[in-house]
Structure 1
Amino acid sequence: MPFAPAHRLVLIGGGFSTDTDGLLDDWTLSHARASRPKVCFVPTASGDAPAYVEQFFTAFRPRNCEPSVLSLFRREFDDDALRTFLLSQDVVYVGGGNTANLLAVWRAHGVDRLLGEAYEHGTLLCGISAGANCWAEGSHTDSFGPLTFLPDGLGLLPGSVCPHYTSESGRRASYQEAVATGSLSAGWALEDGTGALFTDGLLTEAVTRTPEAHLHHVRADGNSSVTEQALPCRLLVKAQ
């Protein structure tokens, strides 16, 4: 029988846009299927902001990888070339911004289907903030202004996701309310500084770049409240 690749997703609570040590991005790339991976940055959620794209290239050009960017607001590929390009990537790294807008634009261009196909073929999918939200069945977001729940996503990761869990005012309480009321299913709340690897939909590794930061699993307890479990995280350190 043909070999079936593992299906892997990484949720990143930081990365090149906020961290100076590069620990979370180095850890993410360590899970790529190639020793010199092709890494495609997808900045759709920011409207393909040029400064964000340049920030990505500044961070990844020195690394042992082949960085590229997929722009959809100034799209260059036809449908066949877009599919070929995305399926050739070892890592697809999705940036932060507006989750609802990201999903709408992806669907207009068929990128949602292509990313699902890439995932099935072993491409590592990852991202920060909106780029973490998009993989789940639902998420906690400020896409519409005030913090709220979004029962929408690609559904590659079961459950829901909440980024910036303790660093943004109101996030924790608002996400817990959404889970307690059933507006969002149980899920994963990332503090800034953490990373979570999922293999075939199951959590297989949790890491942190700071000892104080944690990954949490939040689920309804059946009594109009939630159970919040802080999960052990391996501390990332710079190689000597």
Structure 2
Amino acid sequence: MKKQLLIYGSGRHTVPFINYMAQLTGKQKPNVCFLPTASGDDVEYINRFYEVCNQLEVNPHVIRVWINSYDQKETFEELIDKMDVIVVGGGNTLNMLAIWKAQGIDVALKKAYENGTIMGGGSAGSLCWTNGGTTDSRPTELSIVKGLSFINKSHCPHYNSEKSRRPLYHKNILEGNLTDGYACDDRSAIHFINEEVEKSISLDKENHSYYVYLKGEKIVEERIPNEILP
């Protein structure tokens, strides 16, 4: 079964990125599901997802975690199993992963991914799929968080929009705190198939994706050629 992921730099919903994931399913009107766990199921964020999906040929769904047994009659695994695309939003990566583990959502996502469900997201929603990266989920400063390792590489979102991200990412790779990995500007994304880079896509010519690794004692930053989405 083909395993596919799309990670992008910003957690903001965009029509082109969600449409790209929807088209990967090969279905006329796929079930596209938003997991807003990292934002605490923020209502405005959820509304923006529906606004974007209203412009596309998709069936939009949202899986909230701030619920009780009276609100929801299906398990998280049952809900996830029905989806063709899972989109994870931005916010607090550390809290999101802790909730997913407590609820068994991490296991359900892994099962769905291996069964061909398209996974994706930006910011916390891109970092979570990798083996780790820097996050603002803790007080006072950016720190390292471990992800689900669907992609066994590190990741840095917001590469061009937050000044501290790039130098800190380089520093952590240099010091061995993070493995080699991939960085995405806010409006750029990387499509993986079976954990290998298929292509980089961007919303404009100014945003890019990169493979960042250590060569000898120096950091190498290779820009991945972009396909600009219409």
Decide: shared fold, TM above 0.5.
yes
Say which SS state the counterpart of residue 30 (structure 1) adopts: helix
Q: Does 1:176 align with 2:170?
A: yes
CA distance in 1, matches of 2:95, 2:75: 23
Give unmatched runs, 5+ long, in structure 1: none
CA distance in 2, matches of 1:185, 1:149: 12
Partner of 1:188: 182
Query: Shift of the alpha carbon at 1:24?
Result: 2.4
Partner of 2:7: 11
C-alpha distance after superposition, 1:45-84 (max 9, x if no partner)? 0011111111111111331111010000124446x63222
Say which SS state the counterpart of residue 211 (structure 1) adopts: coil
Q: Which moved more, 1:6-15 or 1:135-144?
A: 6-15
Q: Does 1:147 align with 2:142?
A: yes
Partner of 1:58: 51
Confirm or deny: 8 A CA contact 1:91 1:125 kept in the other structure: yes
Give, as a single letter, the amino acid of the residue that structure 2 aligns with 1:60.
C
CA distance in 2, matches of 1:106, 1:185: 24
Partner of 2:40: 47
Partner of 2:77: 83
CA distance in 2, matches of 1:160, 1:15: 17
Query: Shift of the alpha carbon at 1:33?
Result: 4.0
Q: How does 1:116-131 map to 2 (within 5 A)?
A: 116-131=110-125
C-alpha distance after superposition, 1:3-56 (max 9, x if no partner)? xx2000110234754x5xx22222222212422110110000001111111111
Confirm or deny: 8 A CA contact 1:97 1:130 kept in the other structure: yes
Runs of 4+ with >6 A deviation: none
Confirm or deny: 8 A CA contact 1:33 1:90 kept in the other structure: no
Partner of 1:216: 210
Give, as a single letter, the amino acid of the residue that structure 2 aligns with 1:149.
I
State, as a whole percentage, how many aligned pairs show the same letter: 33
Give, as a single letter, the amino acid of the residue that structure 1 aligns with 2:144.
F
CA distance in 2, matches of 1:136, 1:42: 17
Q: How many residues of Structure 1 are paired with residues of Structure 2 in the alignment? A: 227
Partner of 1:32: 25
Confirm or deny: 8 A CA contact 2:11 2:125 kept in the other structure: no
C-alpha distance after superposition, 1:110-164 (max 9, x if no partner)? 00000000001100000010000000111221111412222x1111111111000
Query: Shift of the alpha carbon at 1:189?
Result: 0.2
Instruction: State the TM-score, normalizing by the size of structure 2.
Output: 0.93
CA distance in 1, matches of 2:11, 2:64: 20
Instruction: State the TM-score, normalizing by the size of structure 1.
Output: 0.90
